[in-house]
Amino acid sequence: MSRTGVTDSRPDLVADIVADVVAATRHGSVVYSRNRFHAPWGIRVPAGAIASFHVVTDGPCWVVADGDEPIPLAPGDVALVPAGVGHSIVDIPGRATLSFAELIGGPLGEVETPKELVIDGDGPVTRLLCAGFLLDSRHPLIAVLPHVVHVGAEQADRSGLAAAVELLAAEVDRADPGARAVIDSLVDLLFVYLLRAWFTEHAGEGWARALHDPTVGGALALVHQDPARRWTVAALADAVAVPRATFSRRFTALTGQPPMAYVTSWRMTVAADLLRGEGMSLREVARRVGYDSEFAFARAFKRAVGRPPGRYRQASSRPAPG
């Protein structure tokens, strides 16, 4: 069925919206490694712009976000720690940790990350597949995530996440010249499956409820599909066949912001993604997100992001950690 009507299938619609957000917010090359840690062990990952995946393939461990209670992880579990959250991965809670920089021999981004990390010891072994990537956390769907997004093995099997993990694990073991590009794409897929599984599990809460709501989810899909369209509250309400006042109240209640505020926010998210790319003029970027005036676009972008588009592009052109 069409994405543009309220008759769309909810799971497909949620997947589309989540995929749009992942494509626009995850950027740069993925840093990844297979890890084999023998107890006793503990790794400390500092807070920063990098989000982290941890996939347990063998043995138990715990993830501990700063200020939070430890969360146990078992084989088949997947944990995402969003950008800006410091955390530790340990064999048991309370274990002394080694910084990630110490483990790889220097700061992330300044030294090449080994594709296999090993900590020797006499205790039980835990094997993990870990990945890190730059993530723009401004989009509300990302901003509302907990410090640790944990999906257990059973839910991973039901949601298709386990299959994505298997594909990623197989590709990490390959040495083909194109492996990095494939891994980048598979991490995007893993990210989408993980978020879809988590938001489905929490469908009655906040943004998850908005995604699954026929009215609000339908409107979000329309805005994502065509951010350059001259949207108004009336046009969105008509598109989802709900009275304007009812639509505006419901959208604001479920997303925490009025419809047109979200339209502008999404346009700036898309614009930031385009600016991180290569070769597109500011005029074309502005046109792609619905602005006829480059000046009006630059003003809106600075207000949303905190710096003019040109300076944002310049800062984003610096090499990503990898």
**pLDDT at residue 322 greater than cutoff 50:** no
pLDDT of residue 4: 41
Q: Which residues contact 68 (CB under 8 A, 6 or more apart)?
A: 147, 148
Domain boundary among the residues 157, 173, 202 is at: 202
**pLDDT at residue 252 greater than cutoff 50:** yes
Give mean pLDDT, residues 68-96. 94
> What distances in angstroms separate CA 11 from CA 47, 90, 121, 162, 236, one per listed residue?
33, 35, 45, 17, 21
How confident is the prediction for the chain on average, in pLDDT? 89
DSSP 111: B
Q: Are residues 76 and 111 in the same domain?
A: yes
Per-residue confidence band for 138, with pLDDT thresholds at 50, 70 and 90? confident
Per-residue confidence band for 170, with pLDDT thresholds at 50, 70 and 90? confident
Give mean pLDDT, residues 54-70. 95
Domain boundary among the residues 202, 234, 250 is at: 202
Does the residue 229 lie in any domain? yes
The Cα 319–Cα 322 span in angstroms is 8
Cβ atoms of 233 and 248 closer than 8 Å: yes
Where is average pLDDT lowest: 35-39, 137-141, 246-250, 281-285?
137-141
Domain boundary among the residues 202, 228, 260 is at: 202
pLDDT of residue 107: 75
Q: Are residues 147 and 217 in the same domain?
A: no
Per-residue confidence band for 2, with pLDDT thresholds at 50, 70 and 90? very low
Which of 232, 261, 222 is closest to 214 using CA atoms? 222
pLDDT of residue 174: 76
Does the residue 8 lie in any domain? no
Q: Are residues 268 and 192 in the same domain?
A: no
Instruction: Look up the domain containing 263 and give its range.
Output: 213-316
Task: Evaluate the CA torsion angle 259, 261, 265, 267 in order and state its sign.
Answer: positive
Q: Are residues 48 and 195 in the same domain?
A: yes
